[in-house]
C-alpha cells in the first residue's frame, strides 16, 4: 500500500494513488502543505455535511430547533463549514488487518491491507448538533479482472451520534481530484456517467427542483473532456425512479453501482468509481488555483476532475429528501465508495 496508495491524518486524506507509474490524484508532498494550500480539498474526507446547505441554516431538528452555520460559499455552507472534517486531524492510519474480499468486487484481493481513521466531532462542531464518532476504513489491494490486474481502493464510512442531541445531519464523501493524463490537464480524458438525471441548480449550487434530464452533453455515452468544455459542477442522481425518501441512512448493504468510467487515450490509464450512494457530484475543476509549492507543480483550472458520491445536495432542507441525512441516536450512518484503476 505504501508504494502506490498513501494517506494522511489531516482530513483522512488520500494523498497518492499510483497506477502504472502515474499518480492519478492531486495532492502535496507534506501534510503542512495541505494545511496551507489545499483550498480545493484535494483528497479530503468531507463532512459533517458534504456539498452545500442553503442559506447556511437547518430548520426543525431535535424537536423543532433551528441551527445556523458559517456561510463560506456565498449565502451557503460548503463542505461542513470553515473547519469541516476535511480540515481536522484524524487519528490514524491505524492498521486493522487484511480484507481479502471487498463487497461488490469479484475475486480475492492481493494485499487487502486495511487502515482505520477515527474522529470525534464535538457537539456544536461548526454549529452542528450532537457529538459524532466517525470512522473511515481504507482497503487497498489488487484483483484480476478480465485478465488485467486492477488496483482497488475501497472506502467505508461510518458515523454514530453518541451524545449532545437526539439527531443530527451527516453526509460524507471523498474529494479526490483525478487526473489520468500524467500531465497538467484533464484534456483528452474520455468519460461516461451512469445516468443523465441531475438536479438543476441555482447560481450558488442549490437544487431548484427534483431530478430532470441533463441535456448539455449525452452523459451516458463516452464523451471527451476538452481544454475548457464541457464544464461540470453538477449533482447526478443514480436512479431517478426510486423515491428519495427510501434511501437508508446506512447504504452499505446496497449493491455498488458504477457511477463513472474514465480513461485517457494517451496514458492508457483507466478509472472506475463505484458507490452505494444515491447521487454524485461530477466536477471538472474549473476553480482550481494552487501555486507551485514544496516541489509540487502549480495546479490550475481543469487539472483534475472530481466524483463525489453522496446524498442529494441540500437534502436536509427539502422535506422529501431530508431522511437521507438525518442521523438519529442509536443508528449508524454508512456509505461505501470504491476506486478501481488500471493501465492497459
Q: Per residue in 76-132, pLDDT tens? A: 999 999 999 999 999 999 999 999 999 889 889 999 999 999 999 999 999 999 999
Residue-level pLDDT at 54: 98
Cβ atoms of 93 and 126 closer than 8 Å: no
The torsion region of residue 220 among left (phi > 0), alpha (psi -120 to 50) and beta comes to alpha
20, three cell numbers? 502504472
| Residue ranges per structural domain of the chain | 5-343
Distance of CA 136 to the CA centre of its chain: 12
CATH fold of 5-343 reads Beta-galactosidase; Chain A, domain 5 (2.70.98)
The whole-number average pLDDT for the span 289-307 is: 97
Going by C-alpha positions, the residue among 172, 173, 171, 164 that lies closest to residue 329 is: 164
- Distance CA(330)–CA(183), nearest Å, equals 47
Cβ atoms of 216 and 198 closer than 8 Å: no
Look-up of cell digits 464535538: 122
- Angle in degrees, CA 326, 335, 176, rounded to 5: 110
Distances, alpha carbon 287 to alpha carbons 54, 61, 77, 102, in Å: 20, 34, 17, 34
Q: Please state whether the predicted TM-score (pTM) of the whole model is above 0.85.
A: yes
The whole-number average pLDDT for the span 301-306 is: 98
pLDDT at 205 > cutoff 80? yes
The whole-number average pLDDT for the span 221-241 is: 97
pLDDT at 1 > cutoff 90? no
Fill in the DSSP letter of residue 127. Answer: G
Residue-level pLDDT at 276: 98
Q: How many residues does the chain have?
A: 344
Residues 6+ apart with CB under 8 A from 241: none
Going by C-alpha positions, the residue among 299, 33, 309 that lies closest to residue 181 is: 299
pLDDT at 313 > cutoff 90? yes
Give the percent of the chain with pLDDT over 90: 97
Residue-level pLDDT at 104: 86
- Distance CA(305)–CA(49), nearest Å, equals 20
Going by C-alpha positions, the residue among 118, 173, 107 that lies closest to residue 141 is: 107
Q: Per residue in 146-202, pLDDT tens? A: 899 999 999 999 999 999 999 999 999 999 999 999 999 999 999 999 999 999 999
Mean pLDDT, the chain, whole residue set: 97
Question: Would you name the residues annotated as active-site residues?
Answer: 175
Amino acid at each position: 500500500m505504501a508504494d502506490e496508495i498513501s494517506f494522511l491524518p489531516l482530513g483522512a486524506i488520500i494523498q497518492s494513488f499510483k497506477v502504472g507509474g502515474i499518480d492519478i490524484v492531486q495532492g502535496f508532498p507534506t501534510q503542512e502543505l495541505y494545511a496551507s494550500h489545499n483550498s480545493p480539498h484535494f483528497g479530503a474526507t468531507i463532512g459533517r455535511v458534504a456539498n452545500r446547505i442553503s442559506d447556511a441554516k437547518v430548520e426543525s431538528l431535535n424537536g423543532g430547533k433551528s441551527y445556523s452555520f458559517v456561510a463560506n460559499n456565498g449565502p451557503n455552507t460548503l463542505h461542513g463549514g470553515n473547519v469541516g472534517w476535511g480540515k481536522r486531524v484524524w487519528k490514524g492510519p491505524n492498521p486493522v488487518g487484511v480484507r481479502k474480499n471487498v463487497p461488490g468486487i469479484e475475486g480475492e484481493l492481493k494485499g487487502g491491507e486495511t487502515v482505520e481513521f477515527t474522529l470525534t466531532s464535538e457537539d456544536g462542531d461548526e454549529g452542528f448538533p450532537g457529538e459524532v464518532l466517525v470512522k473511515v476504513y481504507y482497503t487497498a489491494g489488487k484483483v484480476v479482472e478480465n485478465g488485467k490486474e486492477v488496483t482497488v481502493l475501497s472506502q467505508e464510512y461510518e458515523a454514530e451520534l453518541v451524545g449532545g442531541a437526539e439527531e443530527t445531519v451527516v453526509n460524507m464523501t471523498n474529494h479526490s481530484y483525478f487526473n489520468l493524463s500524467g500531465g497538467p490537464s484533464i484534456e483528452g480524458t474520455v468519460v461516461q456517467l451512469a445516468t443523465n438525471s441531475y438536479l438543476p441548480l441555482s447560481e450558488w449550487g442549490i437544487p431548484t427542483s427534483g431530478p430532470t434530464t441533463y441535456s448539455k452533453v449525452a452523459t451516458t455515452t463516452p464523451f471527451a473532456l476538452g481544454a475548457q468544455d464541457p464544464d461540470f459542477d453538477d449533482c447526478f442522481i443514480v436512479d431517478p425512479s426510486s423515491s428519495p425518501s427510501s434511501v437508508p441512512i446506512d447504504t452499505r448493504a446496497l449493491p455498488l453501482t458504477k457511477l463513472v468510467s474514465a480513461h485517457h487515450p494517451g496514458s492508457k490509464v483507466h478509472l472506475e468509481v463505484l458507490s452505494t450512494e444515491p447521487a454524485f457530484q461530477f466536477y471538472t475543476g474549473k476553480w482550481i488555483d494552487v501555486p507551485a509549492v514544496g516541489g509540487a507543480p502549480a495546479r490550475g483550472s481543469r487539472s483534475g476532475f472530481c466524483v463525489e458520491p453522496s446524498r442529494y445536495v441540500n437534502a436536509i432542507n427539502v422535506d422529501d429528501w431530508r431522511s437521507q441525512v438525518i442521523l438519529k441516536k442509536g443508528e449508524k450512518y454508512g456509505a461505501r465508495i470504491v476506486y478501481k484503476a488500471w493501465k492497459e
